[in-house]
Structure 1
Amino acid sequence: MNLQANFEQIPLKQYAERAYLDYSMYVVLDRALPFIGDGLKPVQRRIIYAMSELGLAAGAKPKKSARTVGDVIGKFHPHGDSACYEALVLMAQPFSYRYPLIDGQGNFGSQDDPKSFAAMRYTESRLTPLAEALLSELAHGTVDWTANFDGTLEEPSWLPARVPHILLNGATGIAVGMATDIPPHNLREVIDACIRLLDDPEADVAALCEHILGPDFPTEAEIITPRRELLALYQTGSGSVRARAVYKREDGNIVVTALPHQVSPAKILEQIAAQMRAKKLPMIEDLRDESDHENPIRLVIVPRSGRIDVDGLMRHLFATTDLEKSFRVNLNMIGLDGRPQVKDLKRILTEWLSFRTATVTRRLNHRLAKVERRLHLLEGLRIAYLNLDEVIRIVRSEDEPKPVLMARFGLSEEQADYILETRLRQLARLEEMKINAERDALEEERARINVLLKSPAKLKGLIKQELKADAEKYGDARRSPLIEREAAQALDERALVPSEPVTVVLSQKGWIRAAKGHDVDAEGLSYREGDGLLAAVKARTTQQLAVLDSTGRSYSTPIHTLPSARGNGEPLTGRFSPPAGAHFEAIVAGDDDTRLVIATDHGYGFVTRFESLTGRNKAGKQVVTLTDGAHLLPPQISHDPIRDRIVVVTTEGHLLMFSVAELPELDKGKGNKLIDIPRAKLASGEEKVAGIAVIPEGNGEVTLYAGQRKLTLRWPDLIAYGGHRASRGGVLPRGLRRVDRIEAAAS
């Protein structure tokens, strides 16, 4: 025996390609995407059909969900029981489905945790009334039937939906290479659009959107997407919808009463609490969840005071939490041609109406065939009544009465069988009258059906009539109000931080920290071994800190993010990425409009705004152009560049005071010369600028330090050292000519 005859030898590449394509088509067509006709995926269709076979109609007594799941996976869907039960639960959750198809009894999860449902052995379920709109015409010859997975049973290829369910509950799914995200819609709006399209087949998407205003989620959260974007969504079949929570003010508190679809109240509380812990919401004092049976959603936010801008706070929360959420829309579904496609609104409704027209036509033909068969049988029975004695004689005397009856009265085999099976009590005169009445009614029904089948206009009228009846029976008011609003923007991070005084301390080795208050002894703080104070500045938590390094680059960071001074702080190299070999030399804090005097010990400087020192780049930005061997001096704040005076002192005791206005205002650069230092002394390092100070005109003083000595110069004394920028200045008294540093008195 040649065993090779039982095998097909093909290249591995070809086999893998074929196998993957087969799997892909299975996922697309038989698992992930819904069919436009009934709006269901195969597992959902099989669950609903299995429940109808179990007699679990809306008015029936519910049965254990495990019974349903067992039938589904045993007869139609050979997959895992947990996945099947999850699909059943989803169709029963009123917060997941706009129009639930299953009525669940027991724990079917909550909006807080949709997957917290009880095991299927504990819950019971039955179909909802709307499910009847999917099943009521199933036995009327409206669908094709196919064998189940093992060929022992038959199942419907689709359900004969009386309503466009594809848009009512929507669908989500991820296939191979494609996905679907169809939002739910209002039943009455969708049916109104269908009727509009039946009346006016040329109606465009804009006309249909006069009826379908937008998605209608199970929650009462607002849909804030602009009308033009919703229209574009329905014209292209893809886009997004933004939903926002609803809140009200109650006794000074903010009460959230509705959340966007699929948003958990617990997650919202967690997101807000996380910001509170990070001290990013100083305007909120407390947070409570008061949801109960009467108020499914009731989240209470307690502001810190009545002066809080509630609307501004909520806008920030909308932008930073799921109180405002965007939903992707991708109207991808399997069309009547059996192919997946992203469809616009008109294409969806047009195809569904074609599906509905075909379904109604099949239903009418099926009924017509039944009516004609019954009339055929009644005609045979009427002949028997007219010739009753002869029929009885033939039945009594003939061994094979059937062929004799057929030959004698021109009956069909079916009519002859029916006559022979008729009971004697049906031969009464009264029964003959009933048969005649039934025949008249059936002939009238046959004529009516023939008129409908031959007249497209009348068939269309029947479809409209049935759609209106279903809208009245199953429809309800819109839940999601459409209120056009701008997308929320988060507040500036600095606006969320309480303004508190701090002292920022930088160590010689580049460790940074912030101590509460301005009366901090920076030198008295503990430092790591071999480290010590380099610079300290007074600031507020709402400000930014700018750090300058030895290459003239500037870096910035929010002060409220700095570590506490209780420890040694953290290295700035963890926040910034300075060039190799560079070290940090100076720090300054301020607001964007704060004017600063930036200077180097080689005697050059300029005025700049604090904003010029800030940026988000970890590598910083070049601000100061340094001459060879130059070092930055601590930047000085100028409150009034017109009236302020800058005091410059050199290590050789030369002091000069001139107006800050004489310096140029630059975003970056080298600046202009501050004081004249002989080039030879500057090159040799014999003399350089010891420091600068900015003081107000007429009311300032500076203190000079030279070793153990110090000298305080007040305004009248400083006038003698006044001059123009770049001059040599005056000479300090003997004994104070080796100046180490200069400090201005606190204003």
Structure 2
Amino acid sequence: MATTTEHESERQPLRTFAEKAYLDYAMYVILDRALPHVGDGLKPVQRRIVYAMSELGLSAASKPKKAARTVGDVIGKFHPHGDSACYEAMVIMAQPFSYRYPLIDGHGNWGTADDPKSFAAMRYTESRLTAYAATLLSELGQGTVEWQPNFDGTLNEPVTMPARLPNVLLNGGTGIAVGMATDIPPHNLREVADATVHLLNNPDADLDTLCEYLPAPDFPTGAEIITPAEEIRELYAKGNGIVRLRATYTIENGEIVIDALPYQTSGARVLEQIAGQMAAKKLPMVSDLRDESDHENPTRLIIVPRSNRVDTDALMAHLFATTGLEKGIRVNLNVIGLDGAPRVKNLREILTEWLTYRRQTVTRRLEHRLDAVLDRLHILEGLLTAYLNIDEVIHIIRTEDEPKPVMMERFGLTGTQTDAVLDLRLRHLMKLEEFKIRGEQEELEAERKTLEAILGSRKKLDKLIGDEIKADAEKYGDARRSRMVERDQAKALSEADLLPSEPITVVLSRQGWIRAAKGHDVDAAGLSFRSGDDYLTHAVGRSNQTLVVLDSTGRSYTLAAHKLPSARGQGEPLTGSLNPADGARFVGVALGDENTRCVLASTAGNAFATTLGDISSRNKSGKAALSVGKNADALAPAPIEGEDPEVCVITSAGQLLCLPVDELPALSKGKGNKLISLNKDEQVVALAALPASAVLTIYSGKRHMTLKAGERDAYRGPRASRGKRLPRGFTQVQSVSVEQR
């Protein structure tokens, strides 16, 4: 009977399997994909691209080759991933607006600052390494770094590059891993070099001292860094934070010329944002936009103000607040350290760890060179022995079948020395060679002593490292591009600020119809009204100010004055845009900015002072501003203007009381205090707030009387007093008006 065997299998809980698989993937993405190494500042794909290009001989002095050739070598030999992802990583390293110090010199279309992904296909573009890339590659073949097998074990690749400069800070980088990310901004080479050398010479230097040498990032597109120095110092201390960048501009012939944009900001997108505001009529002070960017001026955006009266500083502050002309750059100094673990490090930790890496690299380079020098001295010693006994050496070679062991025994040579002697060409068997050997010996002996002295002294090793950093900074460094300046916080213009400011008169009818006439010299009562309707009140101000409407229940509403219908018609009913309570009627309007003061009063004789900002409401149902009480209504708000303002209040019994506005409480809402003493069934019928120098006109039927400042003295009294009765004929007052004198 045949027997069956079951395949052996491992059984484990799904939770355990999923957890292990996820963690393995997470660590792979963190260590082998997304985060740069503190030593060379490169991710694996970037490192493999640079190494593959060096293996292809694409140095800065060579002729460029198709980018597809490089990508093919990278994904075929070292990086078994998608060609498009590899090419995109290559493109970023070639873009001068993405990298502060590009590693690749691209020929052809490698994208633009407006659209970094607009690069041509790799079959069209060509590339080679830049001169700066030599800081990563020049020491690669000198025993400086560890090597590892490639993905299929057929080739070796460097684990890291022997960077001569802290490239992790110079070019920065971004990456998203599993559960973590990195955002390292670029910095200026000379500043980084100065800070590094200072830390090298003063290992106990604190962060504040380092920030004196390295004050802030330095972005390839320039612009201004407006983040305060204290915040940047805090950022470097924590390893994360925000750096704010702002575009720079100049004024040329009345036009605003933007010549630098924040890092990774598209000029086309900025113009689109500004054009959108213009289309929405939110930028009436701008008449035109142009993009004059070209090869000589990579950023030149033109904003044309409508007139020379436009406040360009206020306009630009608005654009900084509402467009990409100001941008916050996230900073997260998350790197893979020398211990192989990712961690957010502060500036001092990054520089300290890089110096440790650099010491290891230079030590290995010197040891590698010392080994080569000792090997050569060993061979030269054997060659010199051979030259001193040249005739006997030739005899042994001619007569012996196996000359190597004979020579080793006869002259005490090692196998390596004997092989070097046997490999000599006949033309080198001259007397002159002996002098060359001795000269080379002397040079190598001097070099050996120097190398051993450096390797034996930490101070000399640090001096060598510092000198090399300074030399590279002098060779590849340049001036700072992103200026550090202190600027006020950008503030968007309010809707009122963006609107044209024109004098208007707002007219309200008794049936609640409203309209606005241009100018202040308008005969509001003389306008035509609908049949059965009549003039109630009006307010003067400007078209970009706030209009507050008050109803009889004391609720206040806010409308945009510039949206009111024209006084050429008979207006529109307020109930079309507002929702007053049943039975409520509109009693008055006030026009001004949010700080404009006014008096709110009820027919019950209570009042208080307030501002239009306090009683404004964007709600169609309004807000409760004045508590009118039972069997009472609100009066029209009375604007407070001029010096030493006073309040004049008239009752249905013909009593007039004048008192300073300062005697009223300042409230944002409420009932207020008692303004005048009323008898039973008596109500307040009119109220005005006026400067002490103004003239008050009182209307009763067809009669009217005027009271100048001195003439009102007889009616002055303390708050809540009875006041004084008006002359006969003015017991039925309909309205009052104020005339400035």
The alpha carbon displacement at 1:49 in A equals 0.9
Deviates most, 426-435 or 359-368: 426-435
Q: Distance in 1 between matches of 2:580 and 2:611?
A: 24
| Residue range with higher mean Cα deviation, 658-667 or 190-199 | 658-667
In structure 2, how many angstroms separate the alpha carbons of the residues matched to 1:302 and 1:623? 44
After TM superposition, list the pairs within 5 Å mapping 1:421-432 onto structure 2: 421-432=423-434
Pairing partner for 2:8 from 5, 8, 17: 5
Q: 1:746, CA displacement in angstroms?
A: 9.5
Q: What secondary structure sits across from 2:74 in the alignment?
A: helix
Match of 2:658 in 1: 659
Equivalences for 1:370-409 in 2 at 5 Å?
370-388=372-390, 390-392=392-394, 394-396=396-398, 398-409=400-411
1:63-82 matched pairs, under 5 angstroms: 63-82=65-84
Aligned to 2:289, the other structure's residue is in SS state: strand
Matched residue, 2:593: 591
Consecutive unaligned residues of structure 1, counting only runs of 5 or more, are 527-531, 680-686, 705-710
Q: Which amino acid aligns with 1:713?
A: R
Choose from 21, 36, 40 the match for 1:38.
40
Q: Classify 1:282/1:521 alpha carbon distance in 2 versus 1 (closer, same or farther; 3 Å).
A: farther
Change (3 A) 1:555 1:76: farther
Quote the Cα distance in structure 2 between the aligned partners of 1:259 and 1:96: 13
Distance in 2 separating the partners of 1:514 and 1:362:
85
| Alignment counterpart, residue 50 of structure 2, candidates 48, 72, 88 | 48
- Are 1:161 and 2:163 matched, yes or no? yes
1:327 aligns with 329
1:573 is displaced (CA, Å) by 10
**Structure 1 residue aligned with 2:370:** 368
Deviation of 1:723 (Å): 11
The one-letter code matched in structure 1 to 2:658 is S
Letter in 2 for 1:659: C
Q: Summarize the alignment of residues 45-124 of structure 1 with structure 2, pairs less than 5 Å apart.
A: 45-124=47-126
The one-letter code of the counterpart of 1:670 is K
Verify the 8 A CA contact 2:321 2:492 in the aligned structure 1. yes
Matches within 5 A, 1:454-469: 454-469=456-471
- The residue aligned with 1:200 is 202
Aligned residue runs from structure 1 range 545-584, under 5 A: 545-548=547-550, 552-556=554-558, 558-560=560-562
Contact 2:507-2:538 at 8 Å conserved across structures: yes
Matched position secondary structure for 2:174: strand
Residue 395 of structure 1 and its aligned partner are, at CA, apart by: 4.5
Describe the superposition over 1:550-586 as per-residue Cα deviations: whole angstroms up to 9, x where unpaired: 7644454554477999999999999x9x899897856
Closer, same or farther: CA 195–693 of 1 in aligned 2, 3 Å: closer
Contact 2:338 2:353 (C-alpha < 8 Å) held by counterparts: yes
1:670 maps to which residue?
Answer: 671
Change (3 A) 1:567 1:270: farther
State how 1:278-317 maps to structure 2 within 5 Å: 278-317=280-319
> Cα deviations across residues 31-51 of structure 1 (Å, max 9, x unaligned)?
222111111111211111111
Letter paired with 2:670: G
Indicate how the Cα distance of structure 1 residues 359 and 655 shifts in structure 2: closer, same or farther if over 3 A, else same: same
Q: Report the 3-state secondary structure (helix = DSSP H, G, I; strand = E; otherwise coil) of the residue aligned with 2:106.
A: strand
Change (3 A) 1:570 1:647: closer
SS state of the match for residue 209, structure 1? helix
Distance 1:328 1:525 in 2: 61
Relative to structure 1, the CA distance from residue 178 to residue 533 in structure 2 (aligned partners, 3 Å threshold; closer, same or farther) is farther
Q: 1:441 aligns with which of 424, 432, 443?
A: 443
Separation in 2, partners of 1:285, 1:110: 27
Structure 2 CA distance for partners of 1:75 and 1:632, relative to 1, 3 Å: farther
- Matches of 2:324 and 2:625, distance apart in 1: 40
Shift of 1:545: 2.5
Letter in 2 for 1:163: L
Asked whether 1:451 is paired with 2:453, we answer: yes
Q: Secondary structure, in 3 states, of the residue corresponding to 2:350?
A: helix
CA separation of 1:234 and 1:362: change in aligned 2, threshold 3 A: same
CA 84–618 in structure 1, closer or farther in 2 if over 3 Å, else same: farther
Report the more deviating stretch, 105-114 or 302-311.
Answer: 302-311
Cα distance per residue 1:441-472 (max 9 Å; x no partner)? 33332232222212222222221222222122
Sequence identity percentage? 55
Instruction: Judge conservation of contact 1:271–1:321 (CA < 8 Å) in 2.
Output: yes
Rounded Cα–Cα distance in structure 2 between residues aligned with 1:617 and 1:225: 38
Query: Kindly tell me: are residues 712 and 4 of structure 1, through their superposed partners in 2, closer, same or farther at Cα, counting changes over 3 Å?
Result: farther
In the alignment, what sits opposite 1:714? 704
Where 1:341 maps in the other structure, the secondary structure is: strand
CA distance in 2, matches of 1:459, 1:563: 83
- Give the residue type in structure 1 aligned to 2:458: P
Correspondences of 1:491-510 after superposition (within 5 Å):
491=493, 493-501=495-503
Q: In structure 1, what is the equivalent of residue 252 of structure 2?
A: 250
Partners of 1:522 and 1:255 in 2: how far apart?
A: 51
Distance 2:334 2:179 in 1: 12
> Secondary structure of the residue that 1:256 maps to in structure 2?
strand
Q: CA offsets per residue over residues 653-680 of structure 1, 9 Å max, x none?
A: x66554375984442322437685756x
Tell me, yes or no, if the aligned pair for 2:639 and 2:689 is still in contact at 8 Å.
Answer: no
Is residue 347 of structure 1 aligned with residue 349 of structure 2? yes
User: Over residues 463-500 of structure 1, what are the superposed CA-to-partner deviations in whole Å (9 max), with x where a residue is unaligned?
Assistant: 12222221221122222233344434445553333212
TM-score of the aligned structures, taking structure 1 as reference length? 0.82
CA 726–591 in structure 1, closer or farther in 2 if over 3 Å, else same: farther
Tell me if structure 1 keeps the 8 A contact 2:698–2:706: no
- Whole-angstrom distance in 1 between the partners of 2:640 and 2:412: 120
CA contact (8 A) 1:513 1:570 kept: no
Superposition deviation, residue 162 in structure 1: 0.9
1:179 to 178, 181, 200: 181
How far did residue 733 of structure 1 move?
9.2
Single out whichever of 657-666 and 164-173 deviates more from structure 2. Answer: 657-666
**Contact 2:221–2:263 under 8 Å retained in 1:** yes
Task: Tell me the secondary structure at the aligned position of residue 104 of structure 1.
Answer: strand
SS at match of 1:273: helix
Query: Which among 131, 134, 140 is matched to residue 132 of structure 1?
Result: 134
| TM-score, normalised via structure 2 length | 0.83
State the Cα distance separating 1:144 from its structure 2 match: 0.7
Question: Hey, what does 1:707 align to over in structure 2?
Answer: none
For the 8 Å contact 1:549–1:582, the answer to whether it is kept is no
Partner of 2:414: 412
Deviations 1:505-558 (A, max 9, x none): 8999999997877879999899xxxxx999986653221133456764445455
The answer for unaligned runs of 5 or more in structure 2 is none
Distance 1:533 1:35 in 2: 79
Change in 2 beyond 3 A, CA 1:444/1:95: same
- Give the direction of change, closer, same or farther, for the CA distance of 1:617–1:41 in structure 2 (3 Å limit): farther
CA distance in 2, matches of 1:25, 1:514: 69
Secondary structure at the aligned position of 2:196 is classed as helix
For 2:613, the equivalent position in structure 1 comes to 611
Q: How far apart, CA to CA, are the structure 2 residues paired with 1:567 and 1:62?
A: 77
Distance 1:178 1:564, change over 3 A: farther
CA contact (8 A) 2:598 2:610 kept: yes
RMSD of the TM alignment (CA)?
4.4
**Counterpart residue type for residue 72 of structure 2:** G
Per-residue CA deviations over 1:131-184 (Å, capped at 9, x if unaligned) read 011000001111111122222222111100111111211222233333322222
Counterpart amino acid of 1:160?
A: P
Change (3 A) 1:128 1:515: farther
Offset, 1:358: 0.7
CA contact (8 A) 1:99 1:168 kept: yes
Q: Kindly provide the amino acid, as one letter, of the partner of residue 6 in structure 1.
A: S
* Letter matched to residue 712 of structure 1: K
Change (3 A) 1:134 1:493: same
Q: Indicate how the Cα distance of structure 1 residues 227 and 598 shifts in structure 2: closer, same or farther if over 3 A, else same.
A: closer
